[in-house]
A and B are shown apart, each in its own frame.
Chain A
Amino acid sequence: MRRERLINAALLLALLAVPLWAWAADEPFTITLATRVAILALAGVGLNIALGLGGLVSLGHAIFFGIGGYAMGILASHAQDHAPLLESPLLIEGTKSMPVIWLVAVIASALAALVIGVLSLRTSGVYFIMITLAFGQMFFFFAVSWPAYGGEDGLSIYVRNEFPGLNTLDPIQFFALCFALLAGALLLNARLARAPFGLALSAARQNEARVQSVGIDSFRLRLVAFTISGAITGLAGALFADLNRFVSPAMFSWQTSGEIMIFVILGGVGRLFGPVAGAALFILLEHFLGGLSEYWHVFLGLLLLGVVLFARGGLIGTLAGREVAHD
C-alpha cells in the first residue's frame, strides 16, 4: 500500500516535471505529448470507475469520448461561423469558452451513459461487453453518415477554445488545464472508492448476492457508477478534441474503446493511478516503437500479450505488489 503511494506520487511528479523541463528547454512537442498522456489518462480514469470499482467491462466508452469531442466540435464550429445552433423556440449560440463546452460535454455524456446504462445493465458478463460494443457501433455509423457536421471527414476548428485568464494556445498553459482536471478526477476517484458508495460497489462486484441481501440495490449502484464514468470520459473527449483542434467519427470507433481499455489494463485495473501509468506507457511506446519499424504493431501486440500473461495487475500491480488498493 505504501509502495503504491510512492509510485503514484512519482508518476504525478514525472507527469508534471517532464513538460516543465520541456518548457524550459523549448521543446513544445514534448509538452504536447504530455498533454496527450494527461487527457487519455483522464479518459482511462473514467473507465476505471466502471471497470475497476464496478467490474463493468465496457467496450463502448468511445461513445462518451466521442460525445465530448462532438460537444466541443459542434459548439465551437457554430461560434466560428457565427451561426446560432438553434433559433427557435429559443436562441442558442455556439461558444468558444472551455468551461461552457466542458459543462455541455459532461452533461451530454452523462445523459448518454444513463440511458445506455439503464438498457445495458440488464445484461452481465460477455453480454454486457457486447451490448456496449453494439451501442458504440450505432454511434459510429450515425456519425459517419450524419452530414451536418462533416460525417466521416470530421470537423476542424481553426483556433483552440478559450479559458478565462489563460492563453490556451500556449502549450504549457493548456497542459496545466488538462493536468488540473486529471488531478481533480483522480481525487474524485479516490474519494468515491473510500465512500460508502464505492465500498458497496466493490462489494457488489465481488459478491452480488450478499450485497442484495443487505438491501442495497446493486443495479442502481452500477448505474450511478456507469454515469459518472461516462461523464469523466466525455470531459476527456472534449479536451482531446481541443488538443487536436479536430473531431471525427474515429473517436467513436470500437478501436478507441479498445485503446481506452488498454490504458487501464496496462496500468493495472482498479489501481487509482493505473490509467496514468498505462496512458504514459502507451504514448511512449507509440512514439519510440513507431519510429523504429513500420510493423511496430507486432511489438505492441507482443508487449500487451506479455502484460496479460505474465504481469497481472499491470504496471502498477507489478511494481507495487499483489494487494489491490481498493479492497
Chain B
Amino acid sequence: MKLKSLILAAALAATAGGALAGSHGGKVKVGMITTLSGGGAGLGIDVRDGFMLALKMAGADNVEVVIEDDQRKPDIAVQLADRMIQSEKVDVLTGIIWSNLAMAVVPAATAQGKFYLSPNAGPSALAGKGCNPLYFNVAWQNDNLHEAAGAYASQAGFGKTFILAPNYPAGKDALTGFKRFFKGDLAGEIYTKLGQTDYASEIAQIRASGADSVFFFLPGGMGISFLKQYADSGVGLPLVGPAFSFDQGILQAVGAAALGVKNTSQWSKDIDNPANRAFVEAFQAEYGRLPSLYASQGFDTANLLLSAMARADVGDTEAFRAALAAADFDSVRGDFAFASNQHPIQDIYVREVIREGDVFTNRIVGVALEDYSNAYVDQCRM
C-alpha cells in the first residue's frame, strides 16, 4: 500500500461487461477523504481498511475507489473534495472522520449533487436543519453514544454523576446528550481544555464532589491520559463513557487502567450474527489485528453502497437514493435501518473492558437503547 491514491483496478476481471449482469450495470467511482497521517491517523486507516475489506469480500469489481489523506485539516479536505468532484468526477464521497471536516465538506458536496456516506462524523447540524437527501450517516448521530451512556447510568442506579468533556462543540453535545437521558443529579460539570493531557485538577474535583459515578467524553490521547491518571489517583468511582476511549486501537495503550469500565457502542466484536463473525475473522486474517469500531463502520458503509448498486444505477439520483434508504444489507450490527433524516436506527450496547490473554478488548453486558434513532429527526425537513 505504498501509493496513497490507491485505485482498485476495477478492470481486472469484469470489464468485459458480461460479469456485471445482475447489477444495474453501472460502475461507481468513490472518493474517500480520510485522515491517514498525523495524530488521528489510526481512525482513518481503520475506516479505509474496513471499507476495502468489504469490497474485497464481495468481489466487487465495479467500484473504483480513490483515497486521499486530509491530514485532519478542514481546508485540505475541502480542496480534496473539489478535486474529486471536479477532476476525478466521483459519484459518491465518503471517509471523513471528524465533525469539523464533515461540516466543511458535506454541504458543498451535496450541493453539487454528489452522494455523501458518512462512516463516522455525525454532527447535529447535518441531522437536523441541515439534513440533505444526498447525505446518509452509516455510523451514528454524534449524540447517540452519550445518550446511551446517560440511559445506562440511570439503569445502573447512579444518582449523582460527575460529567466532563473538552470545551468545544462535540464536548458540549456530549454533555447535553448525556443529560438528555440521565435521570439522576449532577455532582459537577467541567469543561476541559481541548488537547489537555494533565487531569490532576479535574480528578481532585471529582474526589471532592461526593459523586457516585463519573461520565467522561475525552477522545483520542486525552482519554488515555485521563484513564491512566484516574486509575492512579485511587478515586475508584465507576466510570462510564462512549466507546471512543475504549476502542481496539487505543485500549492497548490504556492497559489495565481501563479494565471493568462500562462504555456504550453500537458495535462490538462479540455481537453474534453471521455478518459480524465473518467480518471479525476476515479482518484479522487480512490485516493481522482486531477490528475496531471505525473498521466496522467502514465495512458497513461499503456494504450499504454495494446493496444500493445492486438495486439502482447511481446516475439515477432518485432511484439510487431510495436504494440507499432501504438499507438492504447485512450490517455487522444486526438490525439496521435509516430514520427519516437518514441516520441509523439501531441498538446501542453497553460494553465492559476485559482482558483476553494479553489483549484488552470489550464484551457486551447489556443494551442501553433499543432501536433508537436520534433527537433531531423532527427538525429535518426534506
Which residues of chain A have a CB within 8 Å of any CB of chain B? 27-30, 32-33, 36, 141, 144-145, 147, 150-154, 156, 158-159, 240, 244-246, 248, 250-251, 290-297
CB-defined contacts of A32 to chain B, threshold 8 Å: 79, 82-83, 86
Partner of A244, one of B3, B4, B75, B111: B75
| Most B Cβ at <10 Å: residue of A150, A153, A156, A291 | A153
Q: How far apart are the CA atoms of A245 and B75 in the complex, in Å?
A: 9
Q: CB distance A294 to B104 under 8 Å?
A: no
New A-B contacts (18) at CB < 8 Å, excluding given A151-B168, A293-B2: A29-B83, A29-B87, A36-B79, A141-B194, A152-B169, A152-B194, A153-B100, A153-B125, A154-B103, A154-B104, A158-B108, A244-B75, A246-B78, A246-B108, A248-B74, A290-B4, A294-B36, A294-B37
| Known A244-B75, A250-B75, A297-B37; contact A150-B4, beta-carbon cutoff 8 A | no
15 A-B pairs in the complex with CB atoms less than 8 angstroms apart: A147-B169, A147-B172, A150-B103, A152-B169, A156-B103, A158-B108, A245-B78, A250-B74, A291-B3, A291-B5, A293-B2, A294-B37, A294-B41, A296-B37, A297-B37
Chain B residues lying within 8 Å of A244, measured Cβ to Cβ, are 74-75, 78-79, 104
B residues 161-218 in Cβ contact with A at 8 Å: 167-170, 172, 191, 193-194
Nearest A-chain residue to B125, judged by Cβ = A153
Q: Once bound together, how far apart are the Cα atoms of A258 and B69, in whole Å?
A: 21
Majority secondary structure, A binding face: helix
CB pair A246–B75 under 8 Å, yes or no, is: yes
Q: How large is the interface on B (under 10, 10 to 19, 20 to 34, 35 or more residues)?
A: 35 or more
At the interface, yes or no: B107 with Cβ under 8 Å from chain A? yes
B256 vs chain A, min Cβ distance (A): 32
Cβ distance B6 to chain A, nearest Cβ, rounded Å: 10
Shortest distance in angstroms between A160's beta carbon and chain B's nearest beta carbon?
A: 10
Q: Is the CB of A158 within 8 A of B100?
A: no
State whether A250 touches B73 (Cβ < 8 A).
yes
Cα–Cα, bound, A27→B108 (Å)? 19
C-alpha gap A141/B169 in the complex (Å): 13
Q: Is the CB of A150 within 8 A of B169?
A: yes
Q: Are B74 and A29 neighbours in the complex by a CB distance under 8 Å?
A: no
CB distance from A293 to the nearest CB of B (A): 7
Which of chain A's residues has its CB closest to B123's CB?
A153
The minimal Cβ–Cβ distance linking A233 to chain B, given in whole angstroms, is 15
Please name the residue on chain B nearest to A251 by beta carbon.
Answer: B75
Q: Which residues of A contact B111 (CB under 8 A)?
A: 158-159
CB of B265 within 8 A of chain A? no
Residue of A nearest to B191 (CB): A145
Closest 10 CB pairs of A and B: A152-B168, A29-B87, A246-B104, A28-B86, A244-B78, A29-B86, A151-B169, A145-B167, A153-B100, A29-B83
Complex Cα gap A183–B4 (Å): 36
B74-92 interface bits toward A, Cβ cutoff 8 Å, 1 = contact, 0 = none: 1100110011001100000
Specify which chain B residues have a CB less than 8 angstroms from the CB of A240 in the assembled complex: 75
Instruction: Report if B99 contacts A (CB, 8 A).
Output: yes
A170 to B49, alpha carbons, bound, how many Å? Answer: 37
Contact of A294 with B103 at beta-carbon distance under 8 Å, contacts A29-B83, A240-B75, A245-B108 already known: no
Query: Once bound together, how far apart are the Cα atoms of A155 and B170, in whole Å?
Result: 14
Q: Which chain A residues lie closer than 8 Å to B83 at the CB level?
A: 29, 32
Closest chain B residue, CB of each to CB of A244: B78
CB nearest neighbor in B for A140: B194
